[in-house]
Structure 1
């Protein structure tokens, strides 16, 4: 059986960094608020992110095998606001190194491996991903990021282009995610200003897992609020494909 990507089994200089020392806690709070409030269920119309599409590059280091694997593809996410809850639907499509699809309609997630003629089907919790191991938290749970993770500056705190680097650790023990490192677009600190347009905050995400594994995903060509349809997140199991259903309390990653 071919190796499945980590997401399927399951996202500057010293002088510049030193400049954050004065008021760093206040700035950190602004960065976190700027990225979170666009994804909140009560976000203001016109200032919220309803859906996104992007291309991505992925580099995964498999610690147990001491091997690096690279991939690329497309991702689409829609955030459905249901009262005070926000339920993401998502679709990951890998073209490299092999064709794979990870699709969720908000209640079920399917991991489809055409070359293996298999699909892994798992339920999603009724309230989204909160409270379970979720390697996609950096993408689908941004509105509750500080509730699920402790957030601090990474080292260094800025990348070479002046974007913010954050270190996140799960508040509850996780068997899949040991920590996250995110590169956040510097424009988010001004997003609370009246009339500001949405800006997708995550430029780069690195997920650190067990056995020294890590997966870095870089997003580019991001498109926001294009009105993605339900049909994009539907999955019909092809005829003749084997369906695997793991433990009902876990994702099929």
Structure 2
């Protein structure tokens, strides 16, 4: 269940898929694997040079074999390594915080908090792609890179056989991170768009701290 929650919390998109003007990741996999582009270089530069990242986001989750799309918007904050915050604001509030040691998921409507340790088991998940401090090549296979609809795209596939998602692609516009897309093992497509981006600006450290509110149920899958 934790991985499914992570998948729903790591991406965002500005419009429904029909109006995005970009192909879903599954379509991108049909591209020539020998295609070349700048996106791998841009992704490596992002991981090497970015300390903080802040942006508005919009996320679209398109269910498999369905025209139904779930659209969410909010604010994303990143402080590498292993600190991030997805602040979902519409249509419902929801909070995901990684504080460097733990991952917290808070649902105010249910008054429920889910927590687990950040460990190697999460290193190859899309949620940790931007914030992790490991090598990109240790966890992902870099696939096709190409330009499409104004984006520089690179496709990534997990090296771990146990990964429960099929592929990721990351998009840049004007050398800046602008989009991420995911197809998971259930055939669901998640599309994110970042807007109003600030790179390496000041970010309040308190954003990456979380204390369960009084009265909230706290669920943990941490082992002994």
With the length of structure 1 as denominator, give the TM-score of the two structures: 0.69
Instruction: Please state whether the residue corresponding to 1:39 is helix, strand or coil.
Output: helix
Matches within 5 A, 1:53-68: 53-63=54-64, 67-68=68-69
Pairing partner for 2:89 from 79, 95, 102: 95
Unaligned runs of 5+ in 1: 13-20, 41-47, 80-86, 188-199
* Counterpart Cα distance in 2 of 1:206 and 1:142: 21
1:169 matched to 2:157:
yes
- Structure 1 position 112 matched with structure 2 position 120: no
Matched, 1:219 2:194: yes
The 3-state SS of whatever aligns with 1:173 is coil
Aligned counterpart for 2:216 among listed residues 234, 241, 245? 241
The 1:111–1:64 alpha-carbon spacing in structure 2 relative to 1, beyond 3 Å, is: farther
CA drift of 1:115 comes to 0.2
- For residue 91 of structure 1, give the secondary structure of its aligned residue in structure 2: strand
CA distance in 2, matches of 1:244, 1:223: 34
Structure 2 unmatched runs, 5+: 12-20, 22-31
Deviating above 6 A after TM superposition, structure 1's stretches of 4 or more consecutive aligned residues are none
In structure 2, C-alpha distance between the alignment counterparts of 1:6 and 1:170, rounded to whole Å? 15
Note the C-alpha offset of 1:63: 2.5
After superposition, what is the alpha-carbon deviation per residue over 1:179-200, rounded to whole angstroms, capped at 9, x for unaligned?
002222353xxxxxxxxxxxx4
Q: Does the 8 Å contact 1:57/1:218 carry over to 2?
A: yes
**For the Cα contact (< 8 Å) 2:10–2:86, is it kept in 1?**
no
Shift of 1:219: 0.5
1:1-150 paired onto structure 2 within 5 Å? 7-8=7-8, 11=11, 27-28=36-37, 31-40=39-48, 48-63=49-64, 67-79=68-80, 87-125=81-119, 129-130=122-123, 132=124, 134-141=125-132, 144-150=135-141
Native 8 Å contact 2:52 2:202 kept in 1: yes
TM-score (norm 2): 0.77
Q: Distance in 1 between matches of 2:209 and 2:8?
A: 17
Contact in 2 for aligned 1:93/1:102 (Cα 8 Å): yes
Of 228-237 and 65-74, deviating more is: 65-74
Cα separation, 2, equivalents of 1:238 and 1:54? 26
Q: Which has the larger radius of gyration?
A: 1
SS in 2 for 1:151: strand
Partners of 1:9 and 1:183 in 2: how far apart?
A: 18
